[in-house]
Amino acid sequence: MKKDYDKYVNAKGLRCPHPLLQLKLAIKQAKKGEIVLLEATDPHTDLDIEVWSQRFHHTIINTKCNEDSYKFWIRK
């Protein structure tokens, strides 16, 4: 099975602003066009990621929420 991301960030258990900080580091290390999958449990992560992605011109290509975590696929 082929994975649908290039880098994975496990931010489960971290509270704001740490999931975003982890994502910023991964995006900085990613090449243009690569996809970073962020998995977090903080319910406020979605707004942080949306605003940050728009501001820095990254694309949220998919999101998935369940009762345990939130996943965001972001293209640099």
Active site residues: 16
Q: Are strands 7-11 and 70-75 parallel, antiparallel or unpaired?
A: unpaired
Number of C-beta neighbours around residue 41 at 10 A: 14
Place of tokens 């694309």: 59
- Count Cα atoms within 13 angstroms, Cβ side, for 72: 30
